[in-house]
Amino acid sequence: MDSSKQIIQTTNLLLDIASLLMVSGANTIRVNLNIKRFADSLGYNASFFISQKSLIMTLYREDSSDSCTRVKNIPGLALNFSIISAISKVSWKALQHNWTLEQIATEIEHIKHVKRYPRLLVLLAVSLAGAGFCNIFKGDYLNMLVSFVSTFTGLTVLQWTHKKNYNVYLRIFIGSFIASSIAAIGVKLDIGAKPATALATSVLYLVPGVPLINSFTDFLDNNIINGLVRFTTGSMMVLAIALGLFISMLIFNLN
């Protein structure tokens, strides 16, 4: 393969890896470090700009006039920390063992097709977590049951709206409204010792921890633009949660 084709293929692969990391919820410094390791293992220097919507990368060699610049749009967020961890491990192996472009591409393709946790398992685990939070806030078993049911139903609706490609903030608003409405029924029927705890914990599964934490780490690493974007995104998500909760409380006339 001639050098021009190789550098184009390498750039496209590194952009694909960077996009996969961003979609999976990696912060900016982790994307930078992983791409640098892959580029070093293949004998290239990588210079690129990362935003929330697109990636711009230039790949070049110090001892050659060949260079390649490519732009790639980033799909919507689909959190998967297993992918981030797997790519990080592969980047170290590629650097230590001088992997070829084909070896890296094969491994990344394998990571892309690793099966996620079953949908029902995710629903049960998140709903149990919601019930656990309810218990932490002194809710009894009936309150925990209401929290479990409301979280399970809200997350089911959230997943359905995600498949239908609804706007992310609209998805969160609907998920918050559905979950809090079910919990509000529990408050109106006075189910359990502290029904308000079920209402308060019914929307916790929507809290945007990843964007807010990543915004903080980006600020620390002086990636101010990405930090501001992620903070704004997290704040908008919190607003959507609060709006769904507020409207359900307004409908059911709860203080």
Asked whether the predicted pLDDT for residue 56 surpasses 60, the reply is yes
Asked whether the predicted pLDDT for residue 70 surpasses 70, the reply is yes
Measure Cα distances from 255 to 15, 39, 54, 190, 230 in Å. Answer: 50, 57, 44, 14, 32
Count CB neighbours of 242 within 10 A: 13
Determine the residue type at 232.
T
What is the pLDDT at residue 52? 81
Q: Tell me which of 96, 112, 128 is where a domain ends.
A: 112
pLDDT digit string, tens, across residues 179-190:
999 999 999 999
What is the pLDDT at residue 115? 82
Instruction: Provide the residue count of the chain.
Output: 255
Largest CA distance in the chain: 75
In this structure, is the dihedral angle defined by the CA atoms of residues 140, 204, 122 and 158, taken in order, positive or negative? positive
Domain count, the chain: 2
Q: Provide the domain limits for residue 125.
A: 119-251
Q: How far apart are CA 11 and CA 124, in angstroms?
A: 41
- Examine the domain organization and report whether 108 and 139 are in the same domain: no
- Examine the domain organization and report whether 137 and 244 are in the same domain: yes
Q: How far apart are CA 34 and CA 63, in angstroms?
A: 23
What is the pLDDT at residue 254? 87
- Examine the domain organization and report whether 104 and 202 are in the same domain: no
- Examine the domain organization and report whether 124 and 144 are in the same domain: yes
Angle at the Cα of 206 from the Cα atoms of 203 and 209, rounded to 5 degrees: 130
- Examine the domain organization and report whether 215 and 95 are in the same domain: no
pLDDT digit string, tens, across residues 132-150:
999 999 999 999 999 999 9
pLDDT digit string, tens, across residues 159-172:
999 999 899 999 99
- Examine the domain organization and report whether 123 and 33 are in the same domain: no
- Examine the domain organization and report whether 104 and 175 are in the same domain: no
- Examine the domain organization and report whether 59 and 170 are in the same domain: no
Q: How far apart are CA 43 and CA 35, in angstroms?
A: 12
Q: Give me the torsion for CA of 35, 36, 37, 42, rounded to 10°.
A: 90
Q: How far apart are CA 3 and CA 211, in angstroms?
A: 39
Average pLDDT over residues 34-45: 93
